[in-house]
Amino acid sequence: MRTMTAPRTRPLRDPAPSKWGYRWQRWMLTPGVRTGLRIGVPTLVLALAAGAWASNDTNRAMIIGRYDQLKAAIQHRPEFMVAGLAITGADEELASTVTELVPVKFPISSFDLDLEAMRAKVAGLAAVKDVYVRVGDAGALEIGITPRQPVALWRTAEGLRLIDSEGVFAGNVAQRAERRDLPLIAGEGAEDNIDEALALFRSAAPIAERVRGLVRIGNRRWDMVLDRDQRIQLPSEGPVAALDRVIGLEQSQDLLARDVALVDVRNPNRPTVRLQRDAVAATRNAVTTGANN
Amino acid sequence: MRDLYETQRAMRNVRKAAMQRGVIAILDVGTSKIACLVLRFDGPGRLAQVEGIGALAGQSQFRVIGAATTRSRGVRFGEIDAMQETERAIRTAVQAAQKMAEVRVDHVIACFSGARPRSYGLDGAVDVDSGIVTEADISRVLASCDVPDFGHDRDVLHAQPVNFALDHRSGMADPRGQVGNRLATDLHLMTVDATAIRNLFFCIKRCDLELAGLASSAYVAGVSSLVEDEQELGAACVDLGGGTTGISVFMKKHMIYSDAVRMGGDHVTGDISMGLQVPMQTAERIKTFYGGVMATGMDDREMIEIGGDTGDWERDRRTVSRAELIGIMRPRIEEILEEVRARLDAAGFEHLPSQQIVLTGGGSQVPGLDGLAAKILGQQVRLGRPLRVQGLPQAATGPAFSVAVGCALFAAHPQDEWWDFDIPAETYPARSLKRAVKWFKDNW
């Protein structure tokens, strides 16, 4: 005979969720809520804890101090240190000026160097055409300078100045004697026509001993000034060719060695020569006395 | 009927939204149990690419990720009787299934068995204007069906076009694009009590769920437990439930008839309870453990201690033989099957080319039922179990879950219903507006 194993009938259990329990469970199963609980709540707790800890001033100061310390420790590693200054491409005078201009106490961390400002400062010097500033090999602060090459002296109301081939101011000179090697120019607009002036000086090489300089007249044409107050007035068009003719005359007939005050070749068709005042009188005397005959 | 059309269309839209979200719940509101499955849709299934395997009626598209069953409360004859109780039961099932699935479901497809389903076969015919059948023609022919007066307190649950005929050709599944002059259709209309639908609507709404579809459980049981050949050649599915026994007749893969007998397993339990003078729960237990319908000589000797639990443990040690139990159960089951037979006869089941009958549902688990059913319903009787779907727990693969599984298939692959087609333009209420626009166009 078989028996019922559990014949007892208890009151029926109907485990049903309450309406709010059901809603709560559904809410908790919503994907957004699940994600929020999994990620948002831990994040929030961490953020709150961190905020509470950081709200204490000493803690914040400690963090900042620790940070600065760490930063300094890294920045002052020997790999980042700059030990010396190496200036290339400058003469001694310029180098000493630049050294004064760059006030750096070595050794210094390369993080503390403001290379841009340094470069701007050095590039501001008149004698410097171009410059690069970098932290190079072996911890040296390299300043590579391309100096301006002065090609002429320019006499202005303020004094003598050096100018380079682009007509840019490249320094001051106290006396003409300091730079005998450079030709002298003067007059309004002389610095803008430096190429022409240099060509004229090259053409005047045979009489270079006697040339004192070039004067720009009316910002239009050149006068070449020689010693003994001689002057060659050149045209605004084709001055080099005109000068060549004068040089030719000088070489063939010793024109300039004579008592000539002015050679005017402004009009190429009608070159004119003015004699010295005394020469005029002497010539006249000679004619009357017939000395030459 | 217009508002029902709108409701059903709205439910189809909800279903579409649920498909996009990928999670939908299946709710089988039965008399003895409420089952809830949570399905996850992730695109076409892996099997779809393999050559030689068809769409598998859509069951490869989804996976069951949550399943729960609870004892049904407040449901009688498949209809909601005590709303709060049912609501609690639904909540229990849904919550447990959600917990298993670990996902929240908002959309639910429900099926229920009762509410006195009634079947109507409608037909309609229209002339095809353009010579080629278009979707609009199908809408028109569906709208031209002569709807019987089924009473204001009934609602249409299913309205499926089962056949299209174009001129002299019949039996077409999809006449769109074909050339013809006269398009005719047969429509299977199934109505149920409006109050039952309304109650179910209300219950599901009270559970914060949105209804994405409604189905008759007789229909979905047929979908899941009939094999394809049976659906094609003609078969009846008898769903022996707790409070009702649903009948659905399939032919050419369409349900052509549906009915329900308002008797089921609970009545058998009631008979045992009355016959043996034991409480219902004990009777249910005895039925499931020792029940049967064919008595043998052995059963006379097998005594069952029924434990009346009257409180008098010393004297109340009643026993019955299993033969007695079978003697109580068999007449009721016979009665149910006779009633099914009568319904099938009334529907003209004997005219179908194949007369396969498939018994499914929880009541079909009674041992020896197939033998008894063969005597009453005819020789072609088999016991049906639901189709296998991915992820279904072992506990939910029995015949008692053929409705739930069928409803899942229905969710994945619903049949075209009347409300899937647009309302034809000439019956549209905005016609006067259209006419006004036309007048403007003509005159300006």
The more confident residue out of A231 and A191 is: A231
Q: Is the pLDDT of residue A78 over 60?
A: yes
Q: Is residue A134 scored above 80 in pLDDT?
A: yes
pLDDT at position B366, please?
A: 92
Q: What average pLDDT does range A259-276 have in this prediction?
A: 86
State pLDDT tens for residues B310-367.
666 666 678 899 999 999 999 999 999 999 999 999 988 888 888 899 999 999 999 9
Instruction: Indicate yes or no: CB of B104 within 8 angstroms of CB of A12.
Output: no
Mutate to test the interface with A, among B34, B72, B91 (most CBs of A within 10 A): B91
Residue B185 contacts A where some CB pair is shorter than 8 Å: no
What pLDDT does residue A8 have? 54
Inter-chain CB proximity A4 and B207 less than 8 Å: no
Q: What is the pLDDT of residue A43?
A: 96
Of residues B227 and A158, which shows the higher confidence score? B227
Residue A3 has pLDDT above 60, yes or no: no
Q: Predicted confidence band at A69 (pLDDT cuts at 50, 70, 90)?
A: very high
Put simply, whether B414 touches A (Cβ < 8 Å) is: no
Could you report the per-residue pLDDT of A167-196, keeping only the tens digit for each?
777 777 778 877 878 888 888 888 788 888
Q: How far apart are CA A171 and CA A167, in angstroms?
A: 12
Backbone torsions φ then ψ of A133, nearest 5 degrees: -125, 125
In this prediction, what percent of chain B has a pLDDT beyond 70?
91
Mutation pick from A13, A18, A19, A22 vs chain B, by most beta carbons of B within 10 Å, is A22
Whole-number pLDDT of residue B130? 83
Which residue does chain A place closest to B72, by CA atoms? A14
| B91 closest CB neighbour out of A7, A16, A29 | A16
Chain B: residue whose CA lies nearest to A6: B307
**Predicted pLDDT at A226:** 87
Residue B381: the pLDDT is 93
Q: What is the mean pLDDT of residues B439-444?
A: 81
Reported ipTM: 0.76
pLDDT, average across residues A33-45: 94
- Inter-chain CB proximity A2 and B304 less than 8 Å: yes
Which chain B positions have a beta carbon within 8 Å of A13's beta carbon? Answer: none
Determine the residue of chain B that is closest to A23 in CA distance.
B208
Assess whether pLDDT exceeds 70 at residue B59.
no
Output the pLDDT for position A181.
Answer: 81
User: Domains of chain A, with CATH numbers?
Assistant: 78-147 (3.10.20.310), 150-289 (3.40.50.11690)
- Among A197-211, B307-321, B377-391, the range scoring the smallest mean pLDDT is B307-321
Which residue is closest to A25 within chain B, CA to CA?
A: B95
**What's the CATH code, domain B118-190?**
3.30.1490
Q: Of the candidates B104, B282, B290, which has its C-beta nearest A7's C-beta?
A: B282
Among A245-254, B2-11, B195-204, which is the least confidently predicted range? B2-11
Compute the nearest-CA separation of B25 from chain A (Å): 13
pLDDT tier at A208, thresholds 50, 70, 90: confident
Contact B282 A12 (CB under 8 A): no
Task: Look at residue A138 and tell me whether its pLDDT is greater than 80.
Answer: no
Give the minimum alpha-carbon distance from B366 to chain A in angstroms, rounded to a whole number: 19
Quick check: B319 contacting A, CB < 8 Å? yes
Give the pLDDT confidence score for residue B108 in this predicted structure. 93
| A26/B98 Cβ within 8 A | yes
| Cα nearest neighbour of B84 on chain A | A19
The distance of B38 to chain A (nearest Cα, Å) reads 13
Residues of chain A in contact with residue B102, where contact means CB-CB under 8 angstroms, are: 29
* pLDDT above 90 (res A197): no
* CA-CA-CA-CA torsion sign (A49, A55, A58, A64): positive
Q: Report which of B327, B323, B322, B311 is spatially closest to residue B271, judged by C-alpha positions.
A: B327
Average pLDDT (A57-78) is 92
> Residue A166 pLDDT more than 80?
no
Which residues of B are less than 8 Å from A31 in CB distance?
Answer: 103-104
For residue B50, pLDDT over 60 is answered with no
Under CATH, which architecture does the B265-331 domain have?
Answer: Alpha-Beta Complex (3.90)
Altogether, the residues listed in chain B come to a count of 444
Residues in A closer than 8 angstroms to B302, CB to CB, are: 1-2
Note whether B303 contacts A2, CB cutoff 8 Å. Answer: yes
B303 touches chain A (CB under 8 A): yes
In angstroms, the separation between the Cα of residue B348 and the nearest Cα of chain A is: 44
Instruction: Find how far residue A124's CA is from the centre of its chain.
Output: 6
Q: How far is B365 from chain A (nearest CA, A)?
A: 20
Are B62 and B48 contacting, i.e. CB atoms less than 8 angstroms apart? no
Which range of A39-53, A115-129, B190-204 scores highest in mean pLDDT? It is: A39-53
Instruction: Please list every residue in chain A whose beta carbon sits closer than 8 Å to the beta carbon of residue B299.
Output: none
Size of interface A-B (CB pairs under 8 A): 68
Per-residue pLDDT of B71-93, as tens digits, reads: 898 898 888 889 988 999 999 99
SS3 assignment, position A11:
coil
Q: Is the pLDDT of residue B4 over 90?
A: no
Q: How far is B125 from chain A (nearest CA, A)?
A: 49
All residues of chain A having their beta carbon less than 8 Å from the beta carbon of residue B304 are: 1-2, 4
Question: How does the average pLDDT of chain A come out, rounded?
Answer: 84
Q: Per-residue pLDDT for A15 more than 60?
A: yes
Q: Which of A8, A12, A23 sits opposite B309 (nearest CB)?
A: A8
Average pLDDT, chain B: 86
- Mean of pLDDT values over B245-258: 91
Nearest-Cα distance to chain A for B10, in Å, is 24
Contacts of B89 in chain A (CB under 8 A): 14, 16
For the segment B384-396, the average pLDDT, to the nearest whole number, is: 87
Please report which confidence band the pLDDT of residue A5 belongs to, taking 50, 70 and 90 as the band edges.
very low
Nearest-CA residue of chain B relative to A1? B303
Which residues in chain B have their CB less than 8 angstroms from residue A12's CB? 71, 281
Could you give the count of Cα atoms lying within 13 Å of B279 in the half-sphere of its Cβ?
13
pLDDT at A35 over 50: yes
The residues with which B359 forms a beta bridge, in sequence order, are B238, B383
Contact B279 A9 (CB under 8 A): yes
Tell if the CB–CB gap between B71 and A31 is shorter than 8 Å. no
Q: Which residues of B fall within a CB distance of 8 Å from A32?
A: none
Q: Please give the Cα distance from B378 to B349 (Å, whole number).
A: 11
B74–A contact, CB cutoff 8 A: no
Out of B158-172, B264-278, B413-427, pick the least confident.
B413-427
